[in-house]
Structure formats: C-alpha cells, structure tokens
Amino acid sequence: MTQPTPNLTALQHLSPEWQQWLLENLARQVPPENLAKVLAEHGMSDACQALADDFKLVPQAAQPRPFVDVSHNRLTLPNASPQVIFACDSPEVVVLDNFITAEECAQLIALAEGKVEDATVVDPATGEFVKHQDRTSMNAAFARAEHPLIARLEARIAAAIHWPAENGEGMQVLRYRSGGEYKAHFDYFDTQSEGGRKNMQTGGQRVGTFLVYLCDVDAGGATRFPALNFEIRPKKGMALFFANTLPNGEGNPLTLHAGVPVVSGVKYLASKWLREKPY
C-alpha cells in the first residue's frame, strides 16, 4: 500500500478538515480509490482527479472494497443517522448503533417468519448449499428489493459502505433459538477449492459482510472474532460491518468469526454478503 506523502496535490483542492480526513484515512491504509470515490460523491471532482493522479490510479483497474467512513462519529444515511461505536483498522470492523429502528426490526422479523427454512453452508468441494451441523439456525432468504422494506434497508446499507446494492447477495434473516450457533468460519470463498471458484463465477469474491441485529438476546448469541479475541453482543437495531478481504483481494484470515451459542432467548439477525461485482 502506498503511504501518504506531504506533497499530495489533492490536498491543494481540499479544506483543512478534508485534508485531515484524507491523510488520516491514507494512514489507516484505506485504498486511495475508495477515498477518491468519497470525494467524487461529495462533489469534489478536482480533488478526486488529483488523488487519482497522485497515486497513478487506473480507472476500473481493480474494484475497491466496501468500507465505512469513520472520520465522524455519526453517519448521515437515508432515513437513519447511526453512531459509530467501535472501529478496528485491521481487519476493518465497524459497529453502528441505531442503524435501523425497532419498528423496522419487527417488520423484518415478521416478513422472515413466513418463509424460514434450515440454514445452509457452501460445500467447499461442490459449491452447493448444504445443511451442516456447524450452522444450527433457521433462515429466510430474500431477493434484492423483494419488499419495500428490504429495498429501503439495502439502500441504507449501500450508502453506509459506499457500495452499490447490486454488488451483493440477497438479504437473509436468521433465527437462532437456545443452543443455536454458527461455528467459526470465513465468509470469503476459498479460491483454491472447486466450490469456491464455482461460487465466484457470478459476482466474484465476497469482499464484505454486513450484519444487523434485530432483537436483544438474554444471554449468548454474540458474534465472536477468535483471532482478534473480541466479540460483539447482539443489540436490537445495531449493525456490524467487516471487510473479508485484504487490499490485494486475498481473503483476510483475521476475519474468522463465529455466532456463539444462544444461551437464553432467541436471536434474529439479518445478513448481507457483499460481492466485488454485480450479483
């Protein structure tokens, strides 16, 4: 990753506040192409072009990864203004509070209850979705924009992570009862396995994961990252984002994560896997 230098011409086109934002994010090793995209979204085309020139970015040479801009403690999104309550740089992990409302949580759970079935995992040998003892939950899968609520939430997620909604699989809602869990796993596909290569034929790699907790859980049910030795406890309306890949596109082994067993209560979780290309 190219490090920031004092003579970036892009700085000449930015206010002091945006200069600080740019330098801080470059120091965090956020890919310059991601930062150029944010500048363009805010109407700073001159700074965007200058940054591209500074880093000799080649348009469309490589797709950037989804990311959350954590330079401020609150995001401004369609119909929401969630707070950044946790951020980790390596791997990129961000927790957002109040991402969706209690009413939206209840509506999404109601939609899911009408179509739940046993959750599945990807078979690494065949690429098929199969039931597995490591994942003991019920699942409701939705097509993109299948319902106005789904479309609204997908648009909000897209704005939060600077990533088009079409570059993602359909939303899923998972239900874990007492004892339900998802043992430690990676969300990115294994490029060395036949199953992984098969699943990447449409949409490419799973470059990120976005989870939304739809209810409080009395005990258990956390999302745990064993390699990082921390976990996120479920809270109604809270969201969790993490990038599954490194800047070079390879899977990041630090993103190993698990849904620990629910001890008491029921856990409802919405998940959306983000692809590098339209899916």
The CATH number given to whatever domain includes residue 141 is 2.60.120.620
Question: Domain for residue 265, yes or no?
Answer: yes
Q: For the chain, which ranges sit under pLDDT 70?
A: 1-7, 41, 57-63, 118-124, 127-136
Question: Domain for residue 260, yes or no?
Answer: yes
- Give the closest residue to 174 by CA, choosing from 215, 205, 146, 204: 215
Question: Domain for residue 249, yes or no?
Answer: yes
Question: Domain for residue 171, yes or no?
Answer: yes
Same domain, 29 and 139: no
Burial letters 90-113, b for 16+ CB under 10 A, else e: ebbbbbbebbbeeebbebbbebbe
Question: Domain for residue 46, yes or no?
Answer: yes
Place of tokens 């209810």: 215
Same domain, 16 and 154: no
Same domain, 151 and 212: yes
- Give the closest residue to 145 by CA, choosing from 135, 137, 155: 155
At residue 115, the pLDDT reads 86
Same domain, 144 and 256: yes
At residue 268, the pLDDT reads 97
Domain count, the chain: 2
Full residue range of the structural domain in which residue 42 is found: 9-55
Same domain, 109 and 150: yes
Question: Domain for residue 66, yes or no?
Answer: no
At residue 1, the pLDDT reads 42
Same domain, 183 and 226: yes
Same domain, 135 and 243: yes
Same domain, 224 and 100: yes
Same domain, 162 and 260: yes
Tell me the C-alpha to C-alpha distance, in Å, between residue 111 and each of 2, 158, 182, 225. 46, 21, 22, 29
Distance CA(202)–CA(279), nearest Å, equals 6
At residue 49, the pLDDT reads 79
Same domain, 50 and 137: no
At residue 135, the pLDDT reads 64
At residue 2, the pLDDT reads 44
One-letter-per-residue 3-state SS of 19-79: HHHHHHHHHCCCCHHHHHHHHHHCCCHHHHHHHHHHCCCCCCCCCCCCCCCCCCCECCECC
Same domain, 264 and 224: yes
Residues in contact with 1: Cβ distance below 8 Å, sequence separation at least 6, in sequence order: 29, 31, 247
Same domain, 122 and 218: yes
Question: Domain for residue 103, yes or no?
Answer: yes
- Structure token digits, residue 156: 């909000």
